[in-house]
Amino acid sequence: MGKSKTLLALVLLLAMEVVVAQTKVVAVTGGKIEGIGQDGIFSFKGIPFAAPPVGDLRWKAPQPVVPWDGVKKAEAFAPGPIQDLWPGAEAPIDEDCLYLNVWTGAKAAKEKRPVMVWIYGGAFRSGMTSIPVYDGTYLAKKGAILVSIAYRVGPFGFLAHPELSAESGAGSGSYGIMDMIAGLKWVKDNIAAFGGDPGNVTIFGESAGGIAVSMLAASPKARGLFHKAISESGGSFAPPMYASEAGQNVPSLGKAENAGKDFFNKLGAADLRAARAMDAQAIHKATIGMPLFWPVADETYIVGDQYDLYEAGKFNDTPVLIGTNSDEGASFIRPGATSASFEAQIKSSFGPAAEGMLKAYPHATDAEAFKSSKDIFREQAFAWHTWAWAELQSKKGRKKAYVYYFDVRSPTMIDGTSHGFEIAYVFGNLTGWAPQMTADDTALSELISSYWVNFARTGNPNGPGLPAWKAYDRSARPAMILGYSPRMESLPNQDKLEAFDAYYAWRRAEAAKAK
């Protein structure tokens, strides 16, 4: 009987130790948090990195975290920013959204593992850290510390207005970018407690997140907060938009402020004080029928034309790993283009570069016109910006650029890989992402995630057992073709990139006249 009691007590004690081993308390800015662990990886979710941006803090730079007493449970994601949810999504959303998440496999703070900070996409009007494909467990198992940071989107993140500019004394309209920078400052101050190296931080993102990475790469306010950059289908190398120029998304401060005045009129808000007093959902609903809100060339966080900044050597010089997918436009362009309508559209939109564009993009038949419409979207929204970035980094930077072209084909993707499809491969979260994932997809995910983590660790994606990835240079222009047969080749769309390069050179000249 005594032995039985002793054995039972021992079993209970061991069980308690297992439970204790599955939680961890870490001290961060504001107080203590408790994360949970499984299979050697601890996750800490819903960590505040700034005060709630509500009330008088709406449309202001993020303010310091509000401290808390005791130990805050960090077991669940915080609400995402206010937005239109994707079909089928049920995640909570709230204006109080400035939280981040950490996944770590480090056993001790002294390990100094490489840190990867994820910035989600969503056209700067949607996105959240809780989307399942962004789970950081797989990358943490590969030795990285994964951090995902939230930022304000839509009018809450990117509204400019003359009153806001006067209030700040430094422009307005880039609050979402300020949120990212505040998150990076939190990482610098706190990531060592999770076993991360604050001196080895890689920012990475996709689509709007990749565009934001590009913006941070040229922002003086982000200097020293990261040491490497990965951009998946993102870049921002076109001139600011002064009117409605094709392929230019970043509005000048004056244009954005005028749009902000129109938005206040639609809200029925007489002034900034009245707008700050309005219900957040009412503000969001008023975006229906309005142009997209986008980060603004406020001359403080986004300092004009990024292409010119790189030419002048005014950028944060880090190694970069950048690329696009082969059929990005499939997610955005619907059938309907004809040979005649395609040609008319090119001639009306691309000025003196139109003839070069028509030569580069086949359009003799309606089928060709449709495919070329998709390809033009690929270059205009993503691929030219990535290529220009690689060219400028190689020309003006001391650090290397690595370029990829993601190309996986299937019966449902006969022209190439759609926008965003590479994310699941990077994060190793293939389940449920597409209907027919195979062993080839699993192997490709292993390869890509290894490249990404190697790059985060050393600034070079290469490693034992991986196909050699050459750094980009402006003579050979090599790119890694990421597919079921990875290989180094020239970019398949090189002629199209050069046609767009002529277009944007003209646009830069026109923008210089508009200043």
Q: Quick check: helix, strand or coil at residue 493?
A: coil
CA distances 168 to 49, 53, 157, 255, 300, Å, are 21, 15, 15, 18, 11
Residue 94: predicted pLDDT: 97
For residue 409, what is the enclosing H or E element?
A: none
SS3 category, 252: strand
Q: What is the CA radius of gyration of the chain?
A: 24
3-class SS at 291?
Answer: coil
50 with 200: CB under 8 angstroms? no
Cα angle: 364, vertex 377, 415; to 5 degrees: 65
Q: What is the DSSP pairing of strand 487-490 with strand 478-482?
A: antiparallel
CB 228 within 8 A of CB 322: no
Sequence letter at residue 353: A
In this predicted structure, what is the pLDDT of residue 88?
61
What is the SS3 assignment for 122?
coil
Please tell me the predicted confidence (pLDDT) of residue 157: 98
pLDDT at 478 (0 to 100) = 95
The helix (run of H) or strand (run of E) holding residue 284 is helix 280-285
44 by DSSP, 3-state: which?
Answer: strand
Where exactly are the structural domains of the chain? 33-514
Query: What CATH class does 33-514 carry?
Result: alpha beta
Residues with catalytic roles: 207, 328, 419
> Which pLDDT does position 394 carry in this prediction?
97
State which amino acid sits at residue 53: P
Which of 227, 427, 205 minimizes the C-alpha distance to 322? 205
3-state secondary structure at position 482 = strand
β pairing state of 23-28 and 320-325: unpaired
178 Cβ contact partners less than 8 Å away, ≥ 6 residues apart:
61, 62, 221, 301
Tens of each residue's pLDDT in the chain, 515 residues? 455 555 444 444 444 444 444 899 999 999 999 999 999 999 999 999 999 999 999 999 999 999 999 999 999 999 999 999 876 666 899 999 999 999 999 999 899 999 999 999 999 999 999 999 999 999 999 999 999 999 999 999 999 999 999 999 999 999 999 999 999 999 999 999 999 999 999 999 999 999 999 999 999 999 999 999 999 999 999 999 988 888 899 999 999 999 999 999 999 999 999 999 999 999 999 998 888 899 999 999 999 899 999 999 999 999 999 999 999 999 899 988 999 999 999 999 999 999 999 999 999 999 999 999 999 999 999 999 999 999 999 999 999 999 999 999 888 888 999 999 999 999 999 987 666 788 999 999 999 999 999 999 999 999 999 999 999 999 999 999 999 999 999 999 999 999 999 999 999 998 787 66
Beta bridge pairs of residue 406: 325, 482
